[in-house]
Structure 1
Amino acid sequence: MSFLDFISFKIIPLLTGENKKPNVYITNINFLNWLQLKKSIKKSIPYIKGKCADIGSGHSPYKKYILNNIEEYISIDKGNIHTHMFSSSKEKFIDADIKELPFENNSFDTVILTQVLEHIDNPFKALEEIKRVLKKDGILILSVPFIYQAHATPYDFYRFSEYGLKEICKNYDFKILEFHYQGYLGTTIFSIINGFIWEVSSKNKLLRNTILLPFLFFIFSCNNLLGLLLDKIKLKNYCPNFWLILKVKK
């Protein structure tokens, strides 16, 4: 591993808490977003039960909060088997496409789908599959961005407004049990500014990973604090992300 890679993949995650998501540090460029996601998953715990599918789970950042509440945890993603460390027999990983889930109808009590739907080229087919594999009165935990920069490009296809989401829920017979606004103008503005600063500084990784790094962490910390303060003004039309707790009606 080169010096720059060591800084990028070892030191920076250590100093920002990137490897402890959602419990990242205030130095993290996505601190504001992860703070909101952590609050919402904690509020969702009473709804999560039985056999649970975490789709597009990545490193399964929410598993630590829900594992004691469920009978079986199935992490579903594409090609990320090596990233999953399981500590009990009720956990497993399946490499699968969300648009063709390898499960029988009515297989799950709960499905978690957070920050995934915007990356699906046909999100409506994905929702049909999720509804198919959920049991009657099953729970879907869904989160999607509204005002947010392009990410995971070129696999960033959609954004969802509050009203579009509510229309989708009506069309697919999902009852909205809870609807969370995940931050407001502060989170929106300063998350984008942090991302912009990081992207610009990354054009010279040697400079970024050496001289600039302490200054970047200081700037991100200040921006994140300002974002928290500005979020006190609850402007719903400037929300960066939505979190929904839905019940499927069959």
Structure 2
Amino acid sequence: MEMIIDIGCGGRPKGDVNIDLFYDTSPHTVFKIDPREIRNFIIADAHHLPIRSNSFDLAICYHILEHLINPAQALKEIRRIAKSVFIKIPNSPIREHEKHLYTWSETSIRNLLSLYFSHVETWIDSSIYDLRKSRIMRLIAKMRVLSYPILRIMRRIIGLEICAYAYS
């Protein structure tokens, strides 16, 4: 049986063990994290995981790397505890959110993961990825003043994400 750890689980945990640095049970938060309701919840920093080496078959990290102070250190820790990792990050060339400390392209995340894993696969995840190649999107891109806000909104609506699977 595969053991899965969800690092940065938030209020939607997916692992056999689930880790997040923050939790808040107040009614004012968007994603409530109540440790009593999450199976095997550990409060921990992704940069220093309190987990034995090689404990997991898979680590999943959905939208956390862009928030970390040192993503390379977190990936080093992930490699230490897990044989493989599945990552989702926003596909955005520009920091769109003040809490996003980093942005990646498909190539740059592949290069970063290659420092810690010998096999890396990346792809763009969207059901309508081909919309970016459409005539209307090319016209929007030509409108220099409006293109950034429109493209940013379109990217959010479309839900473009970079996915990566890495293993050794």
TM over 0.5: yes
Moved runs in structure 1, 4+ residues, more than 4 A? Answer: 185-191
Residue of structure 1 in register with 2:67 after alignment: 119
Following superposition, the deviation at residue 170 of structure 1 comes to 2.2
Task: State the one-letter code of the partner of 1:150.
Answer: E
1: CA distance between counterparts of 2:164 and 2:9? 17
1: CA distance between counterparts of 2:154 and 2:110? 30
Q: Count residues with an aligned counterpart.
A: 141
Following superposition, the deviation at residue 143 of structure 1 comes to 1.2
What whole-Å deviation, never above 9, does each CA across 1:67-113 have from its counterpart, x for those lacking one? xxxxx711100131642424xxxx21100000010011111111001
Answer yes or no: is the 8 Å Cα contact 1:108–1:133 preserved in 2: yes
Larger radius of gyration: 1
Residue of structure 2 in register with 1:56 after alignment: 8
Task: State the one-letter code of the partner of 1:171.
Answer: L
Following superposition, the deviation at residue 150 of structure 1 comes to 2.1
Are 2:36 and 1:76 equivalent residues in the alignment? no
2: CA distance between counterparts of 1:174 and 1:242? 19
Match of 2:162 among 228, 236, 242: 242
Following superposition, the deviation at residue 164 of structure 1 comes to 1.1
Answer yes or no: is the 8 Å Cα contact 2:6–2:59 preserved in 1: yes
If the length of structure 2 is used for normalisation, what is the TM-score? Answer: 0.70
1: CA distance between counterparts of 2:118 and 2:24? 31
Match of 1:150 among 92, 96, 104: 96
Answer yes or no: is the 8 Å Cα contact 1:179–1:243 preserved in 2: yes
Gaps of 5+ in 2: 26-32, 138-148
The answer to which structure has the higher helix fraction is 1
Change (3 A) 1:119 1:174: farther
Task: State the one-letter code of the partner of 1:58.
Answer: G
2:47 aligned counterpart, secondary structure:
helix
Task: State the one-letter code of the partner of 2:41.
Answer: F
Change (3 A) 1:195 1:143: closer
2:96 aligned counterpart, secondary structure:
coil
Change (3 A) 1:60 1:175: same
Are 2:77 and 1:132 equivalent residues in the alignment? no
Gaps of 5+ in 1: 1-48, 64-71, 197-223, 228-238
Task: State the one-letter code of the partner of 1:162.
Answer: E
1:193 aligned counterpart, secondary structure:
helix
Following superposition, the deviation at residue 185 of structure 1 comes to 7.0
2: CA distance between counterparts of 1:95 and 1:191? 36
Percent identity, aligned pairs only? 27
Task: State the one-letter code of the partner of 1:164.
Answer: S
Match of 1:163 among 107, 116, 119: 107
Answer yes or no: is the 8 Å Cα contact 2:106–2:123 preserved in 1: no
Higher relative contact order (CA 8 A, sep 6+): 1
Note the aligned Cα RMSD (angstroms).
Answer: 3.0
What whole-Å deviation, never above 9, does each CA across 1:200-248 have from its counterpart, x for those lacking one? xxxxxxxxxxxxxxxxxxxxxxxx5xx5xxxxxxxxxxx942111221x
Answer yes or no: is the 8 Å Cα contact 2:8–2:21 preserved in 1: yes
Residue of structure 2 in register with 1:103 after alignment: 51
1:112 aligned counterpart, secondary structure:
strand
